[in-house]
Amino acid sequence: MGARRALHFVFKVGDRPRTARFYRQLLGMSVLRHEEFEEGCKASCNGPYDGKWSKTMVGYGPEDNHFVAELTYNYGIGEYRLGNDFLGITLVSSQAVSNAKEMGWPLKEVTAGVFETEAPGGYKFYLEDKEQLKQDPVLKVTLGVSDLRKSISYWSDLLGMKIYEKDEEKQRALLGYADNQCKLELKTVGGAVDHGTAFGRIAFSCAKEELPNIEALMKKENQKILTPLVSLDTPGKATVQVVILADPDGHEICFVGDEAFRDLSKVDPNGDKLLNDAMEADKSDSWFAAQKKKKASA
């Protein structure tokens, strides 16, 4: 098995301007690239929707060596129902804590020096009140599971993740592909995992030639494959190959060929402007307000 990288987590967002404010002004992330699409994705990157949508990648540095957020916006959908599948992202940034206080954004200290806050849509973030790390400040993504042992077996035995911590008493485990990468934390939720309509997706890269092997292994082990090996086009950018899997609790997992992804994911210096222009051109909020209607809820 070659080197694998943790890439990003996909969030569906209903309020794009407020979401952009949270990531840019509160967390202090940068827009790395922004892309608009006229129709749904072949790998359901934007969820089960066929219409116009956008993708905005935000993070603390280039996607080559930072774990980032992928914000997908489906035009016309204002909110999504949260489940108990996504339990939070933990990052280190005293600046983000200060920003939240200055902005009057709700903060709750859950343990000494760790503050819980929510992105628009209800997605939880845990901010460690320490100086932002020179390396990637994003420490871990926490997902809810129904059977910790079964999940550890899937992520470790089948997907090759190293187990960094395992706590049977607290029913949690920490896994990852490398010491210097964002980790995956699994926590039991005391019942079935509910993905709501807001369900996200976690993405990793691997060598392109590994993708057919991952797909073959999942077939052999009778594991769920949501999207068999497929090529995805982005207008004016590199075409990437992906395989989309689902773990025992239905968490979506994307493996993408690393070589093409590094080309696709180069930082676009116009990313901020492209996002701002798209938000300015999107008059749906004012239209719905004028009609005294609410955007659709998924």
Summarised one tens digit per residue, pLDDT across range 248-268 is 999 999 999 999 999 999 999
- pLDDT for 206 equals 96
Binned at pLDDT 50, 70 and 90, residue 293 comes out as low
Residue 237 has pLDDT above 90, yes or no: no
Contacts of 87 (CB under 8 A, 6+ apart): 124, 142, 143, 144, 185, 187, 189
- pLDDT for 2 equals 64
pLDDT cut 90: percent of the chain above it: 84
Binned at pLDDT 50, 70 and 90, residue 290 comes out as confident
Distances (CA, A) of 264 to 62, 214, 276, 278: 12, 22, 21, 20
Residue 278 has pLDDT above 80, yes or no: yes
Determine the 3-state secondary structure of 177 from DSSP: coil
Binned at pLDDT 50, 70 and 90, residue 291 comes out as low
Mean pLDDT over each residue of the chain, to the nearest integer: 94
Return the number of other C-beta atoms located less than 10 Å from residue 120's C-beta.
Answer: 18
Average of per-residue pLDDT across 125-154: 95
Average of per-residue pLDDT across 143-167: 97
- pLDDT for 287 equals 63
Name the phi and psi angles at 85, rounded to 5.
-80, -45
CA–CA dist 67, 267 (Å, integer): 14
Average of per-residue pLDDT across 137-154: 98
- pLDDT for 75 equals 92
Can you say how many angstroms the Cα of residue 265 is from the centroid of all Cα atoms in its chain? Answer: 15
Q: Mark out the alpha helices in 221-265 (DSSP H runs).
A: 258-264
CA–CA dist 43, 61 (Å, integer): 26
DSSP single-letter state for residue 147: -
Average of per-residue pLDDT across 124-136: 92
- pLDDT for 233 equals 82
Residue 1 has pLDDT above 60, yes or no: no
CA 76, 81, 84 angle in degrees (round to 5)?
A: 150
Average of per-residue pLDDT across 209-221: 97
Amino acid symbol at 18: R
Distances (CA, A) of 86 to 18, 90, 163, 270: 20, 12, 20, 31
pLDDT single digits (tens) 69-119:
999 999 989 999 999 999 999 999 999 999 999 999 999 999 999 999 999
Return the number of other C-beta atoms located less than 10 Å from residue 208's C-beta.
Answer: 16
- pLDDT for 135 equals 87
Q: In DSSP terms, which residues pair with 244 in a beta bridge?
A: 227, 254
- pLDDT for 194 equals 97
**Dihedral sign (CA 58, 61, 63, 68):** negative
Average of per-residue pLDDT across 142-149: 98
Strand locations in the chain, DSSP E? 5-13, 30-37, 53-59, 68-74, 77-79, 86-92, 108-111, 114-118, 124-128, 138-145, 162-167, 172-176, 183-188, 201-206, 225-232, 240-246, 252-257, 296-297
Cβ atoms of 153 and 145 within 8 Å: the answer is no
**Can you give the pTM of this predicted structure?**
0.94
